[in-house]
Structure 1
Amino acid sequence: MLTAKSIRNSRNPFAPRFLVVYLSLVISLLASFASSAKIAESADSNTTTVAPASFDNPVIKYDTKDPTNQVGEFIYTADPAVMVLDDTVYLYSTHDEQSVDGKDYRMYDYRLWTSKDMVNWQNKGAVFRYSDFKWARGDQKTGNAYAHHVIQQKDPSGKPRYYFYAAVEGGQTEGKFGFSIGVAVSDSPAGPFTDPRGMPMILLEDTARDKEHSWRNIDPAVFIDDDGKAYLYWGNKQLWWVELEPDLIHLKGESYTLDAAGNMQNRDTSKVKIHTVDTLPDFEEGPYLSKHHGIYYLVYAAGFPESLAYATSTSATGPWQYQGIIMEPLPGTTTIHPAMFDFNGNTYLAYHSADLPGGGNYRRSVCVDRVYFNADGTIKPIVRTFKK
């Protein structure tokens, strides 16, 4: 074994030169390791390598570039919908603009927030307004931008397209007022989104045989299964679902003609099959479908004030097995709206609370927490977390 002592005692005239080269190599290697450590430290300062277990909830607080940490004017958000693409989480929310003493919802636009680590968020601003649907109805006292859902799908050429489904008031036959579900499409997750139909996807007439209240067609959620089939779920006091055409903007079996501007007319749904689900205890609204570890999960708002319940299935179309409550009603608000999704190998739940100062039923705030599963696939009760 070559040691420093053996080199010193060597009578070889090349020994001193060998020692210089040897020490130079060691110094070079140490410098390289130090440089790599600095690079790694710098990278770690900008990214979260370990999945967070707790959050600075509500994660959306301020209408600033950094809505969690950069203090500014409070912004009230609700009804989260999440789309995960590559290394980014796209969280879309409604926007509560009601005054502190207001007695109804006042919502005009939809906001986008993005994150690459579930801790640091960026404010992308308003990406869609209820009035972008020309058939929508609203005024300055009561807004109509209710819950929504956004998904991505590639067109036949391989180009990604983004589909924004939203519940807004309007679009009914003359003399009738109520909520409809529309869809808008964009080439970017941040919009602009345009209406390819020129009319709603779901109208009051489509669900009139089941319920009578005018706000029954709210809270759309779209799920694309592994076989490429897409389904739209929605409802208040009743859960409905329908299969979509591959273009994601028409109901399966829906027929129509187009006017000169390309808008749909003479809509015929006689061959459309709209299904009801009647096996979910206390179903109120806010259905959200996702798949985790081979199991389909239908999370929804149950009862009133709303708690968070869920059911499981081996299929996107059921039958559904009720599994129970995973979040009890929250203080300050009678509503709750779930979005369960996977990111970087972990499962998360987005929902809204009334935890910001001045919060309440019509001034809500989006929160995020981890979802943990039991060995049998059931969900453990959600533990709400806050910054210590």
Structure 2
Amino acid sequence: MKKFISAIFLLSFLYVGFSQGKKNQNTEPYPYGNPVITHMYTADASPHVMPDGRVWMVTSVDHEHGGGYSTMHKYHTFSSADMVNWVDHGEILNVWDVLGSATEPEGEDWALWAPDMVYHEGKYYLYFPVRKLFTEHGYDEQKRKTESYIAVAVSDSPDKRFTVINEKIEGTRGIDPSVFIDDDGEKYLYFGNHWGAKLKDNMKELDGKPIHMDVDDEDFMEAIWMHKRDNKYYVSYHAHYGKPIDPENPDDPERMKSTLDYGVSDNPLGPFKYGGVMNYELGVNVNEGPKYPGKEFVPWRVFQSNHGGIVEFHGNEYLFYHTSALSSWRQDSFQGPGTWTQRSVCIDLLEYDDKGNVVPVQQTLSGVEPVKIVQPYAIELLNGQVNTSDGVSIQNKIINVSENGICEFKNVPLGTGYYYFGLNVLNTISEGKVEIRLDSPDGKLAGTILLDEFSNQVNRGRAETFIRGAKGNRDIFLVFEMGVEGEVQVSFPEFFGGAPLQSY
């Protein structure tokens, strides 16, 4: 009977927290390193290294006064040079930008949930779910009627306002988009209940029908994310869970846990083999810091819902997730769990064993150590030793290519990592590519620049790509593949994004 009453009490508490929130009355500075943003409530972080060499994340925003998921109406971007100190660049999009008016259609409640943001050839693309609830059916989870799909907006800079360029990507359904650019230049959009599809080069339409991927159908719930390591594709996601958590028995083995799980594949669209748990329920194994009154776990342990984003930055991988730790502090000085729908982004290390399996993340209150980077922002390749194959020549620092061929650059010092490669396209063909390979002409593919008849016009003729694994002293091979006859001329090949620009 005691357990039953406790569960009913907590359910009532969760309902109040869900619908109204609690007053944020504690104004003392937050005393720990996690969460990393403490002046507002942030959730659903999507992190990427951008061309300025900084880690950027776009987040959804939980309302200061609570109110639940239907009050999520805007996105902010933040950037960091060291993973510890973050700059708030402000609001970049809100629901009124999407609606095109300051009012919602009658009978509809609109919200903007977990987004993702990626850079491609001079532009920043924001993918976000539009979630509409039809209020005539009410808000009850069993009765409500909703519609959701993915839209995309664009900006010249991640700290500036975004403009919607496709208000509904045809073929999408569901929430939580994630964007992934592979080493061969192909681009993918993941969304909803483990759907995946290629993106067209215009970044605003699907290239073909989406695929319902083979990803743990029984447990998959939401929050899909894709990253790549050692030529393996890791898909992570939030698993189905049971609620509420009984504070008398939070580790009840009969209740499904709110974990981040993952699967592994040799293909970006699967099938994926189940790998295990990436992140336990929020607050599990956090032994430092405050305790839930009368218990041996942190106050936010009794709240659920995981959401992960992953980025590699100068030798380490990091998991971005969210908790209600800040909410607990601001509302109750850690004497209560806080309000679940006032979440805040945390960051901890993501590690692997020698077989490539993810080691479940150790959640912390202290957060990660600051990253120190001592190397140039960019490395221009034509300043060093260059060897060329037949069909490739270099004159006045211009690389001329008339057939399939190779440029070799010896012993390039890539230090702790470079994240982008670019070159100026002076003359192009309608179909071709430049592969950036490490150590040999058929060595590890770090990235690919795709060439077409517009390559010397897009981004002022500057073609760029995200790259992976470009670190240490390496021989670099630019492998030119000519899909059609013609001549390609490029100049100023360089690695860049290898050190943060301190411009904010």
For this structure pair, what is the TM-score category when the shorter chain's length is used for normalisation?
Answer: 0.5 to 0.7
Q: 1:166 aligns with which of 123, 128, 147?
A: 128
Report how far residue 131 of structure 1 moved. 2.2
Partner of 2:279: 327
What is the CA–CA distance in structure 2 between the aligned matches of 1:138 and 1:307, rounded to whole Å? 34
What is the CA–CA distance in structure 1 between the aligned matches of 2:86 and 2:321, rounded to whole Å? 16
Partner of 1:308: 260
What is the CA–CA distance in structure 1 between the aligned matches of 2:162 and 2:213, rounded to whole Å? 30
Partner of 1:361: 340
Q: Secondary structure at the match of 1:57?
A: coil
- The letter of the residue matching 1:163 is Y
Partner of 1:245: 200
Asked if 1:82 is matched to 2:47, the reply is yes
For the 8 Å contact 1:332–1:354, the answer to whether it is kept is no
* Pair 1:307–1:105, CA change in 2 (3 A): farther
What is the CA–CA distance in structure 2 between the aligned matches of 1:362 and 1:105, rounded to whole Å? 10
What is the CA–CA distance in structure 1 between the aligned matches of 2:210 and 2:190, rounded to whole Å? 13
What is the CA–CA distance in structure 2 between the aligned matches of 1:104 and 1:348, rounded to whole Å? 26
Q: Give the strand-richer structure, 1 or 2.
A: 2
What's the % identity of the aligned pairs?
A: 33
What is the CA–CA distance in structure 2 between the aligned matches of 1:108 and 1:333, rounded to whole Å? 22
Deviations 1:132-156 (A, max 9, x none): 22379848996611011000011xx
Deviations 1:61-83 (A, max 9, x none): 11xxxxxxxxxxxx111101012
For the 8 Å contact 2:91–2:161, the answer to whether it is kept is no
1:149-298 paired onto structure 2 within 5 Å: 149-154=116-121, 160-170=122-132, 177-197=146-166, 199-202=167-170, 217-235=174-192, 238-253=193-208, 272-298=209-235
Q: Secondary structure at the match of 1:178?
A: strand
Deviations 1:1-29 (A, max 9, x none): xxxxxxxxxxxxxxxxxxxxxxxxxxxxx
For the 8 Å contact 1:284–1:301, the answer to whether it is kept is yes
Deviations 1:146-198 (A, max 9, x none): 011000011xxxxx1110000113599xx98511210001111123211223x
Q: Secondary structure at the match of 1:196?
A: strand
Aligned residues: 282
Q: Which structure 2 residue ranges, 5 or more long, are not aligned?
A: 1-31, 138-144, 243-257, 283-300, 332-337, 368-504
What is the CA–CA distance in structure 2 between the aligned matches of 1:286 and 1:189, rounded to whole Å? 22
- The letter of the residue matching 2:269 is T
What is the CA–CA distance in structure 1 between the aligned matches of 2:355 and 2:340, rounded to whole Å? 36
- The letter of the residue matching 2:130 is V
Partner of 1:148: 115
Q: Secondary structure at the match of 1:277?
A: coil
* Pair 1:290–1:251, CA change in 2 (3 A): same
What is the CA–CA distance in structure 2 between the aligned matches of 1:171 and 1:335, rounded to whole Å? 20
Asked if 1:131 is matched to 2:96, the reply is yes
Report how far residue 341 of structure 1 moved. 1.0
- The letter of the residue matching 2:359 is K
Please identify the structure whose Cα radius of gyration is greater: 1
- The letter of the residue matching 1:313 is S
Q: Secondary structure at the match of 1:81?
A: strand
For the 8 Å contact 1:105–1:362, the answer to whether it is kept is no
What is the CA–CA distance in structure 1 between the aligned matches of 2:132 and 2:307, rounded to whole Å? 23
What is the CA–CA distance in structure 2 between the aligned matches of 1:250 and 1:342, rounded to whole Å? 27
For the 8 Å contact 2:199–2:207, the answer to whether it is kept is yes
Q: 1:61 aligns with which of 38, 41, 55?
A: 38
Q: Which structure 1 residue ranges, 5 or more long, are not aligned?
A: 1-54, 63-74, 155-159, 208-216, 254-271
Question: CA-atom RMSD, angstroms?
Answer: 2.7
For the 8 Å contact 2:109–2:133, the answer to whether it is kept is no
What is the CA–CA distance in structure 2 between the aligned matches of 1:153 and 1:234, rounded to whole Å? 19
Report how far residue 202 of structure 1 moved. 4.6
Query: TM-score normalised to the size of structure 1?
Result: 0.67
What is the CA–CA distance in structure 2 between the aligned matches of 1:222 and 1:341, rounded to whole Å? 13
What is the CA–CA distance in structure 1 between the aligned matches of 2:348 and 2:153, rounded to whole Å? 29
Report how far residue 332 of structure 1 moved. 4.2
- The letter of the residue matching 1:323 is G
For the 8 Å contact 1:163–1:183, the answer to whether it is kept is yes
Q: Secondary structure at the match of 1:247?
A: coil
Report how far residue 99 of structure 1 moved. 2.9
Deviations 1:340-368 (A, max 9, x none): 11011210000011111333221111000
- The letter of the residue matching 2:154 is V
Q: Secondary structure at the match of 2:165?
A: coil
